[in-house]
Amino acid sequence: MAGFVRPAHPEGDSRPRDGCGVFAVFGHVDASAHTALGLHALQHRGQESAGIVSYDNGHFNTHRSLGLVGDIFSSPNVMDRLTGNAAVGHVRYSTTGGTVLRNVQPLFAEFSFGGLAIAHNGNFTNGYSLRRELVKRGSIFQSTTDTEVLIHLMATSSYHAVEDRMIDALRQIEGAYSIVAMTNDTVFGVRDPLGVRPLVIGVLDDSAVLASETCALDIIGAEFVRDVRPGELVVIDAEGLHSVSPFPAARHRFCVFEYIYFARPDSVVEGAGVYEIRKRIGAELAREAPVAADVVVPVPDSGTPAAMGYASEAQIAFDLGITRNHYIGRTFIEPTDQIRHLGVRLKHNANRASIAGRRIVLVDDSIVRGTTSTKIVEMMREAGAAEVHMRIASPPIADSCYYGVDTPEKEKLLASRLNVEEIATAIGVDSLAYLSIDGLYRATAGANRNDEAPQFCDACLSGDYPIRLIDQEDGDIPTQLSLLMEQV
Amino acid sequence: MAGFVRPAHPEGDSRPRDGCGVFAVFGHVDASAHTALGLHALQHRGQESAGIVSYDNGHFNTHRSLGLVGDIFSSPNVMDRLTGNAAVGHVRYSTTGGTVLRNVQPLFAEFSFGGLAIAHNGNFTNGYSLRRELVKRGSIFQSTTDTEVLIHLMATSSYHAVEDRMIDALRQIEGAYSIVAMTNDTVFGVRDPLGVRPLVIGVLDDSAVLASETCALDIIGAEFVRDVRPGELVVIDAEGLHSVSPFPAARHRFCVFEYIYFARPDSVVEGAGVYEIRKRIGAELAREAPVAADVVVPVPDSGTPAAMGYASEAQIAFDLGITRNHYIGRTFIEPTDQIRHLGVRLKHNANRASIAGRRIVLVDDSIVRGTTSTKIVEMMREAGAAEVHMRIASPPIADSCYYGVDTPEKEKLLASRLNVEEIATAIGVDSLAYLSIDGLYRATAGANRNDEAPQFCDACLSGDYPIRLIDQEDGDIPTQLSLLMEQV
Amino acid sequence: MAGFVRPAHPEGDSRPRDGCGVFAVFGHVDASAHTALGLHALQHRGQESAGIVSYDNGHFNTHRSLGLVGDIFSSPNVMDRLTGNAAVGHVRYSTTGGTVLRNVQPLFAEFSFGGLAIAHNGNFTNGYSLRRELVKRGSIFQSTTDTEVLIHLMATSSYHAVEDRMIDALRQIEGAYSIVAMTNDTVFGVRDPLGVRPLVIGVLDDSAVLASETCALDIIGAEFVRDVRPGELVVIDAEGLHSVSPFPAARHRFCVFEYIYFARPDSVVEGAGVYEIRKRIGAELAREAPVAADVVVPVPDSGTPAAMGYASEAQIAFDLGITRNHYIGRTFIEPTDQIRHLGVRLKHNANRASIAGRRIVLVDDSIVRGTTSTKIVEMMREAGAAEVHMRIASPPIADSCYYGVDTPEKEKLLASRLNVEEIATAIGVDSLAYLSIDGLYRATAGANRNDEAPQFCDACLSGDYPIRLIDQEDGDIPTQLSLLMEQV
Amino acid sequence: MAGFVRPAHPEGDSRPRDGCGVFAVFGHVDASAHTALGLHALQHRGQESAGIVSYDNGHFNTHRSLGLVGDIFSSPNVMDRLTGNAAVGHVRYSTTGGTVLRNVQPLFAEFSFGGLAIAHNGNFTNGYSLRRELVKRGSIFQSTTDTEVLIHLMATSSYHAVEDRMIDALRQIEGAYSIVAMTNDTVFGVRDPLGVRPLVIGVLDDSAVLASETCALDIIGAEFVRDVRPGELVVIDAEGLHSVSPFPAARHRFCVFEYIYFARPDSVVEGAGVYEIRKRIGAELAREAPVAADVVVPVPDSGTPAAMGYASEAQIAFDLGITRNHYIGRTFIEPTDQIRHLGVRLKHNANRASIAGRRIVLVDDSIVRGTTSTKIVEMMREAGAAEVHMRIASPPIADSCYYGVDTPEKEKLLASRLNVEEIATAIGVDSLAYLSIDGLYRATAGANRNDEAPQFCDACLSGDYPIRLIDQEDGDIPTQLSLLMEQV
């Protein structure tokens, strides 16, 4: 899910961040425990907050908090309250400021027909327009998330059955999304008509599982069944799982950035193993942009598989020339300007012996703002690199995402302002090359981009937005949606 | 305000507890600081939680928490965020269990016309019926309080102006209430048509103040102007204060228990000083129920003024024969059955020298369940009292309150099950007398009760309920309103 | 106990504050629960922090925290850990700043012979000199309290048995103190040779109890046996209680301020009921300083018994003309200068009807800095008092206490700088009178002060210090004892 | 540092854990900020707690807490208090239970000459014997750490100067340790005579830095100067750095396990880059224990460099067949037995595409209990591995460490009970080989082990303990050292 109000993307972080991860179980005595484990496996999709709602015999139990899954759900007190055979869960990305508990998902609402819990990955591109209409008609919003629009559309729907209300609501919404929802007897899962965001179905013993990625099935030993299809609404209840198609058929446009960066390497996404895809991307990059060098060094961890593919294709030695510190804690402070300007290495440090005197190919998955790249190149120089050649395992990111990924505004994207040569100069490398968009498609789809009917959503790379940006076009999203300032 | 679901009245506490206290300031640079002080003065009306919403230049700032005002609003961090020239605040009674932050007031909602914060003392007697209707029409409730009904009635009103929406909403509500509310440019104050719950107007420099009692004006040095009239809606904005009468005229039925117990002795309520009234009640009691004794001993602190009135009228010595421990903390635990049965004196202890060998008149304001009375009488016996004569400064409480006061269910009220003689035996006194209802009216209204048109609401003493109990008559209030179980 | 470093006495508080309260039980299955209750009854002797150490089968269990007893010991988690048949406990006064958990008592130390827990009310007047010597010889202190000196003296004693080590240590210490201590098989209680600070013995079932005041016996239903005698060391173990006299005989010099202010009115101190004593003090004051007036008004709560005695003796009506707010919370902030200068009434408010148009005698127990008195007199004037005559139930406090009571430095004591007439002008009264020192002695000891051999310690009133102020004379107490600044 | 009482090594974790990490700065305006960053870089050496003491103009400021460095020192409030030009810091390993704040380092003590802060990595093998003696002579211990022994030895030393007292104390201590300490004008650093534990000297601008590893110099941009020599005491003050040799010369016996596992790959330890050494270890392993296979898969992250060395030497493809989840949080709960037995993968998951149908060589750094190995082998089988050959980059661990590393007791070490063949069966692999001890020495020291004078401490691998285990021989370490049970 996304807030209508885009929180400032933290300056120091040059990676786009995925929206969220969702998870649901129906029909298992340990529903909440499995959900907690599943969310833990999806933690890379959101580190800001997490929540679980379970259903047990007339009551919905919930626990939502800021923090990591392993902290929030590590207490027996908490888990003991989350009883029941069905549960939905959510992890959310981390932002600076503005985060409030009432935005933490799953959201919950009481309708005349009973309760509904809902968790959402993605973004409704007409969410603000719908909200404005709903408020005019007397709906009171609790959160500033677009997810809540779906709740009010369902509450005010003239249909009777929950499933019909949900279809009625979904048909009014445009956007890129994967949603899981739960009532007292049913779990729902749905993907947007183009299938931009991922959602998979698994089975554990006799119970059904929904998750953003297959790695969340693996952690609980569930078997992967299939992806939820674009535009498919799956309905899971005591009768089993059935499938509804509320939307007209549309071409599949899965988010290509899931392959490049978001998905965990051990997940199988839309039929392909992510780790393998990333190595293939690296190999394409080696073919497109070879360079004479002594060693290929990844920017860990996200650049590692592509670097391995590059090294293997280019027949250059691969070496872990940079160590990453995984103990991050809340938000370390760079205490004074003096220290900040020293170029502090909270996350990365060079393995000097692997770098000194060598011509290195530095492989990273993407460049967003360029600040991290600049610091890492400096670090390579200080460690004695003879030459630094940067190779990026994706085409330049020159446009913002409005489909559930947290990217900076267009003007802060390095590639929207500079061409490749200028970027090379800005980050201080001896040479720089990006993967071509066709190279990316060959590595992922097995063929060049079909410009008539592109196989993926690549809006951030191509500027080709497959879903209407209604709120953006309206242009009247307030800079601060909520009038209420509440401290967590 | 009251929840639809009555929390269990704690067993050990034999005193009815008032609903809440409200406070509002318009037009003062220190609006929130004055509100915090005002709430501190109203702390006796609710110790469970407190909250303040202030308005400053387009934003509503809020801080709400469980605990005492002096703890919640003692941090500069908190106060510094509550900027603005207008503020509303609320204190709420303490209950066991079931308390959740989303019920803590003031409530806040965003309408198409902007934000509204609202705080409420009292109870809507058709609140649940209205809620059920609103949910059916698609309203999503955030809390389980009846207060929120007013918000949704306003949101879905077909009127345009805020004031008109509020009048539209109030006309649909039945009950006993005092409400303060705030928009971006206006503060509202309103009392129910019978004026059961109190609300007063004050002035501080050039700014207007609303408060449940005058003691909250005193603490900030504000001048008392007048009571809000029964059924009056006062509207305070940049133009000043104006008054609206949304309801047909009705006879004033102020809650007589405010005089007996709830109001602070230093408050002036409906034109009369509470401390003086209580001494007059004691004097009436002495005239109605004299007894030969050596000393009059109050059950502190609430029985003290009546005991002084009794002693003075009866010409018997007055003595503080019981010391009260005011350091209460959260909820002290009586750790084992053994200790519990020792008759632990967490709050009261006898001053043996004042008691031993004497015939004492023990004066208390009321008897609810009888447990505290029993313990105190025992304590007097152990301290060597020759005789113990109990005199109660109110008629027997034999009926529950549905107008915003937290009383036990009727069957747990001692006087609903036993007559005066039986109660005397149960609590172990040598004699027992209650003030008559006419005696109470003489002390408060200056004349006997006018049974045709009683001067007060005395439903808990007389069973005569002046406002329809619609939800009670419907009989379908769910034992648990909310499907959602959320930990604070 | 006292820290060597005097924390700044908070400006706004004009009352001296007692050091601490101590409590101990030996031989009861609910030792810790009873200790928690006992400490609750002693809460008036210290609101900053509280702690309990219990002994159970080889282990000492402890819980110490900042806050009120009823908050600290209200959790079953906490109480369940404090198992065992013996326990000692402590409450400590509240200071601003500098409070650290490592100073919270009881202190605990492991000796070669086993563990010892110790809690202390009072002050060692040669504590710093002893500490300096001990540190020179290699002792490492954990706290900045003088109490710890006793621990190190015991640890380094050349005697073998615990009792002998304690006697050895006590003989090196000068000061005014009551101490309770506990080893694996013994509870100790001791008062300084002059018996300045109080300590009483009680019995509950077959178990022995020690407490600072009898009110702590009452709360658990224990029977009062006798005061520990000045200079007496009581030793309680499986054999029963025996008594040791480690010091040469000395004249009893009990702290007269315990009668005036510290002790709870329901306690029996050195054979006399405190509440009765205070009424007698008021009566003496009425005889010494009569005035024509309409009503006697106490400054609640501490001035109330003396006011009753005054009123009764003077045959003037007694009225509760001031209401006190007992909900104090942590430390309310007077948020801005503007508000502060309004003369905010966080604690007191006038009952206008009792004051207006009347000549009032305002009775308080003492004046320290004069700030509270000034504000209360102002409040009486604003409430319409015709005349305000202040009567103080003690002689002027013109000297600091070095025996365990927290008083401001001498130069901040109003009576050290101004004579009675000047004070009357400063606080704005029509007349002012203090009780004479002989009047105080008549009310407490039944006779004038015997200047050759005074019956009490009255150093703060007379400047006559009965115990040598060794550290003061040395004059080298550092302004900050501990080099370590640690946040709680 | 180590406690005398060995906390239970958590069952689920099969890796030995290093004692601690230490850091110190002298003469830099940002001493505490640099220390926080240095500790962050040393976080892999201890995740339980962290602390910093700084010195500023007469005061020592401290902040110590349980948790990660990035959480503890992320608040400006905390950092703003840690003023001064000198600081020492400490990180400590994580244990289950028994952890109390008073054991968190740096420890601080006030001597007659002033304050001393001390932080310690390692273990005193005669610590308990010394403690017992000190307690007999009257020393009172605050903690249960062996580090405090040094403090009391210094406090009771008959020498005068701090440096002399430290030498006097060190000469009485046996063990393996690196210590940093700070007084008001000096920072000390010392390694034990054999140099078992690491400590390095760096320089930042004009200020001196001490750290457990060079990666902590890199993070602040300090230049590496040299290792502190075995048995060397470095003294850093306003005059600069000088070196003292308090011990007779001894052969260097650095801990070989620092190379195998503890040190961060980007650190340079005793002149060699850790990452390079680990690749050399992998290459030795390939030469000693080749196997026909399709792919070499590391157990991440600690097995990765050795796996790369193995793959390169064996000319087998290297692949990241296992993904590691780095978001760990506090302690995730495996909520029910059912879930636990599913073999939950909180940390690791297979990249199925890299594993299925292949003969894999699984490379890990060590096997301790064998539980993790068993689970990972199972996971490989489930992912479809054709064969699983385990190669361990160290000789079998068959003996406990008493020199500051947290290993299970000998009987819980898999290799102390089973031979290699039995272990292979137990963990379910097709083949298993460990590196030989000579192979390890070739990779690290460049030559076979010199059994007459071994180049390293390898006690856990060889049972050859180079430092006397005095406390172990005495055999009387109590199962619970401290009598006091205090909750954090």
| DSSP letters spanning B48-101 | SEEEEEEEETTEEEEEEEES-HHHHT--HHHHHH--SSEEEEEEE---SS---G
Distance CA A447, CA D411 (A): 59
Q: How many CB atoms lie within 10 A of CB D54?
A: 27
Residue of D nearest to C136 (CA): D112
Pairing of the two strands A49-56 and B207-211: unpaired
Over residues A141-187, the pLDDT tens digits come to 998 889 999 999 999 999 999 999 999 999 999 999 999 999 999 99
pLDDT tops 90 at residue A474:
no
Query: What is the pLDDT at residue C98?
Result: 45
Q: From the CA of A207, how many Å to the nearest CA of chain D? A: 14
SS3 call for C374? helix
Say if D378 is an interface residue toward chain A (CB within 8 Å). Answer: no
Distance CA C241, CA C86 (A): 14
Q: From the CA of C116, how many Å to the nearest CA of chain D? A: 10
pLDDT-based confidence at A408, cuts 50/70/90? confident
pLDDT tops 50 at residue B442:
yes
Is residue B477 within 8 Å of B144, Cβ to Cβ?
no
Residue B301: asked if its preceding bond is cis (omega within 30°), the reply is: yes
DSSP category for residue A396? -
Is residue A350 within 8 Å of A380, Cβ to Cβ?
yes
Q: Residue C68 is nearest to which of B264, B327, B354, comparing CB atoms?
A: B327
Distance CA D235, CA D26 (A): 10
pLDDT-based confidence at D98, cuts 50/70/90? very low
Beta bridge partners of A115: A110
Over residues D29-68, the pLDDT tens digits come to 999 999 999 999 999 999 889 999 999 999 999 999 988 8
All residues at 6 or more sequence positions from B401 whose CB lies less than 8 Å from its CB, including other chains: B16, B257, B407, B459, B460
- Say if D and C touch: at least 3 Cβ pairs within 8 Å: yes
Please report the DSSP string for C351-373 in residue order.
Answer: -HHHHTT-EEEEEES--SSSHHH
Say if B345 is an interface residue toward chain C (CB within 8 Å). Answer: yes
pLDDT tops 60 at residue B95:
no
Say if B141 is an interface residue toward chain A (CB within 8 Å). Answer: yes
pLDDT-based confidence at D473, cuts 50/70/90? confident
Chains interfacing with D (3 or more CB pairs < 8 Å)? A, C
At residue A321's C-alpha, the angle toward residues A320 and A322, to 5°, is: 95
Q: B260: burial class by Cβ within 10 Å (0-12, 13-18, 19+)?
A: buried
Contact (CB<8Å) D142/C137? no
Asked: is B17-253 a CATH 3.30.70.20 domain? The reply is no
Q: D428: burial class by Cβ within 10 Å (0-12, 13-18, 19+)?
A: middle
Chain B CB contacts of C343 below 8 Å: 221
Query: What is the pLDDT at residue D97?
Result: 35
Contact (CB<8Å) D336/A44? no
Residue of B nearest to A102 (CA): B102
Contact (CB<8Å) D338/A30? yes
Contact (CB<8Å) A59/B137? no
Chain A CB contacts of D265 below 8 Å: 320, 323, 351
Residue numbers in chain C where pLDDT is lower than 50: 1, 5-14, 95-98, 488
Distance CA D306, CA D289 (A): 13
**Domain C17-253 matches domain C274-447 at the CATH topology level:** no
Domains of chain D by residue range: 17-253, 278-325+332-446
Say if D61 is an interface residue toward chain C (CB within 8 Å). Answer: yes
Say if D139 is an interface residue toward chain C (CB within 8 Å). Answer: yes
3-state SS string over B322-367?
Answer: EEECCCCCCCCCCCCHHHHHCCCCCCEEECHHHHCCCEEEEEECCC
Nearest to A346 by CA among A365, A319, A328: A328
Task: Please provide residue A203's backbone torsions phi and psi, each rounded to the nearest 5 degrees.
Answer: -135, 135
Chain C CB contacts of D81 below 8 Å: 485, 487
Distance CA A52, CA C85 (A): 44
Quick one: tokens of B266?
């230093």
How distant, in Å, are the alpha carbons of A38, B112, D14, D334, D426 from that of D375?
19, 58, 11, 15, 11
Which carries the bigger pLDDT value, residue A86 or residue D145?
A: A86
Query: What is the pLDDT at residue B243?
Result: 97
pLDDT tops 80 at residue D403:
yes
Nearest to A194 by CA among A123, A89, A145: A123
How distant, in Å, are the alpha carbons of A66, D19, D68, D290 from that of A328?
16, 20, 8, 38
- Ramachandran assignment for B231, one of left (phi > 0), alpha (psi -120 to 50 degrees), beta (any other): left
Q: Residue D30 is nearest to which of A34, A338, A354, comparing CB atoms?
A: A338
Q: From the CA of B141, how many Å to the nearest CA of chain A? A: 7
Mean pLDDT within B451-480: 89
All residues at 6 or more sequence positions from D50 whose CB lies less than 8 Å from its CB, including other chains: D39, D64, D65, D67, D68, D69, D72, D73, D89, D90, D91, D92, D104
Residue of D nearest to C63 (CA): D486
Distance CA C90, CA C104 (A): 8
Share of chain B above pLDDT 90, in %: 77
Topology of domain B274-326+333-451 in CATH is: Rossmann fold (3.40.50)
The interface predicted TM-score of the complex, written ipTM, equals 0.91
Contact (CB<8Å) C81/D109? no
Quick one: tokens of D49?
């707690």
Q: From the CA of B81, how many Å to the nearest CA of chain C? A: 12
Over residues A124-143, the pLDDT tens digits come to 999 999 999 999 999 999 98
Query: What is the pLDDT at residue A487?
Result: 57
Instruction: Find the distance separating the first CA and the last CA of chain A, reported in whole Å.
Output: 19
Task: Please provide residue A434's backbone torsions phi and psi, each rounded to the nearest 5 degrees.
Answer: -100, 155
Q: How long, in residues, is chain C? A: 488
Distance CA A107, CA A116 (A): 8
Q: Residue A483 is nearest to which of B60, B156, B482, comparing CB atoms?
A: B60
Query: What is the pLDDT at residue B384?
Result: 97
Task: Please provide residue D90's backbone torsions phi and psi, each rounded to the nearest 5 degrees.
Answer: -155, 140
Query: What is the pLDDT at residue B482?
Result: 77
pLDDT tops 70 at residue A342:
no
Distance CA C133, CA C138 (A): 9
Residue of D nearest to C117 (CA): D484
SS3 call for A280? helix
Which range is least confidently modeled, A221-235, B316-330, C393-407?
A: B316-330
Q: Residue C30 is nearest to which of B67, B76, B339, comparing CB atoms?
A: B339
Among C54, C351, C380, pick the best mutation site for testing chain B contact (most B Cβ within 10 A): C351
Average pLDDT taken over every residue of chain A: 90
The residue whose two tokens read 């109605």 is B288
How distant, in Å, are the alpha carbons of A188, A251, D271 from that of A89?
13, 29, 50
Residues of A known to be catalytic: 20
Quick one: tokens of C209?
């109890």
Residue of D nearest to A33 (CA): D335
- Say if B and D touch: at least 3 Cβ pairs within 8 Å: no
Distance CA C347, CA C341 (A): 16
pLDDT-based confidence at B140, cuts 50/70/90? very high
Task: Please provide residue C295's backbone torsions phi and psi, each rounded to the nearest 5 degrees.
Answer: -155, 145
Over residues A34-69, the pLDDT tens digits come to 999 999 999 999 988 999 999 999 999 999 998 889
Q: Residue C484 is nearest to which of D60, D151, D487, comparing CB atoms?
A: D60
Say if A335 is an interface residue toward chain D (CB within 8 Å). Answer: yes
Q: Which CATH number fits the domain C274-447, given the four candidates 3.40.50.2300, 3.90.1150.10, 2.40.30.20, 3.40.50.2020?
A: 3.40.50.2020
pLDDT tops 70 at residue D329:
no
Chain B CB contacts of C215 below 8 Å: 323, 349
Say if A341 is an interface residue toward chain B (CB within 8 Å). Answer: no
| Residue type (1 letter), C178 | S
Query: What is the pLDDT at residue C83?
Result: 95
The residue whose two tokens read 């002035």 is B203
Task: Please provide residue A338's backbone torsions phi and psi, each rounded to the nearest 5 degrees.
Answer: -55, -50
Q: Which CATH class is domain D278-325+332-446?
A: alpha beta
Distance CA A111, CA B132 (A): 10
Quick one: tokens of B190?
């309103």
Say if A204 is an interface residue toward chain B (CB within 8 Å). Answer: no
CATH of domain A273-325+340-447: 3.40.50.2020
Is residue C64 within 8 Å of C54, Cβ to Cβ?
no
All residues at 6 or more sequence positions from C133 whose CB lies less than 8 Å from its CB, including other chains: none
All residues at 6 or more sequence positions from B68 whose CB lies less than 8 Å from its CB, including other chains: B43, B47, B50, C327, C329
